[in-house]
Amino acid sequence: MMRVPSFSNMPVQIGRRSGHATKLPPPMHIVSFGAGHVGHALIALLGRLPCVVQWVDERDELFPDEVPANVQVEATDTPAAIVDEAPPGAYFLVMTHNHALDFSLTERIMRRRDFAYFGLIGSKTKRVKFERRLMDRGVDAERLFEMTCPIGVPGIVDKAPPSIAVAVCAELLQVRTQQVSLADFGSALNAPCIGV
């Protein structure tokens, strides 16, 4: 017979926290292109996460009247200009209704070297086509791994907009956690050594 440990004998600490403080990273700055079904589902989730979002589309009529407080609607005829205005360390998501616009934005984003994440909605076939076109336009083949396509954590096969949104949010949070861990590791490497 297996014995289950009893928690009744364990000391109870009310109102105390661990002495170990967790440093919270700054909010993600997300630039999301596309106000279609997936865009709407994604914004609903991003509105509850530690981020600020620029939600960009050419079609003003697709934006809802109200958006979460951390979301700024950018209805513009020049979405590519938003790429250049984004701060270093931005997270880019391209999910527009138009493959030509997707490619234009992709090329513009890939010319930057300072983004934290770039995700493009689409299939593996779309990725291969875009990679060829990017290389033809001078993007170094060694940098193509910086483009995530398809987007979202692997293993979720449901293509419904809410499912895609959940998978994408999970991936963004994973990337953010990895970057914070790397930054913490780098800080530890650069910390002065104190001899005993």
Burial category of 157 from C-beta neighbours within 10 Å (exposed 0-12, middle 13-18, buried 19 and up): exposed
Tokens representing 33? Answer: 């292109």
**pLDDT higher than threshold 70 for residue 13:** no
* Nearest CA-CA partner of 70 in 43, 40, 36: 43
**pLDDT higher than threshold 70 for residue 71:** yes
Q: In this structure, are residues 6 and 22 in contact, taking their beta carbons and an 8 Å threshold?
A: no
Give me the chain's average pLDDT, please.
87
From the centroid of its chain, how far is CA 163? 15
CA separation for the pair 9, 188 (Å, rounded): 38
Mean pLDDT over residues 123-137, rounded? 97
**pLDDT higher than threshold 90 for residue 1:** no
CA separation for the pair 174, 59 (Å, rounded): 31
Residue spans per domain, the chain:
28-179
Using 50, 70 and 90 to split pLDDT, how confident is the model at 181? Answer: confident
Give the residue, 64 or 26, on which the prediction is more confident: 64
E-strand spans in 58-152? 71-75, 91-94, 117-120, 147-148
Alpha helices by DSSP H, the chain: 37-46, 79-85, 99-111, 124-136, 161-190
CATH topology of domain 28-179: Rossmann fold (3.40.50)
Contacts of 166 by beta carbon, 8 Å cutoff, 6+ apart: 45, 156
Q: What are the tens digits of pLDDT across the range 135-179?
A: 999 999 999 999 999 999 999 989 999 999 999 999 999 999 998
b/e 103-118 (16+ beta carbons within 10 angstroms → b): bbbbbbbbeeeebbbb
Asked which of 16-25, 102-111, 112-121, 123-132 is least confident by mean pLDDT, the reply is 16-25
**pLDDT higher than threshold 60 for residue 11:** no
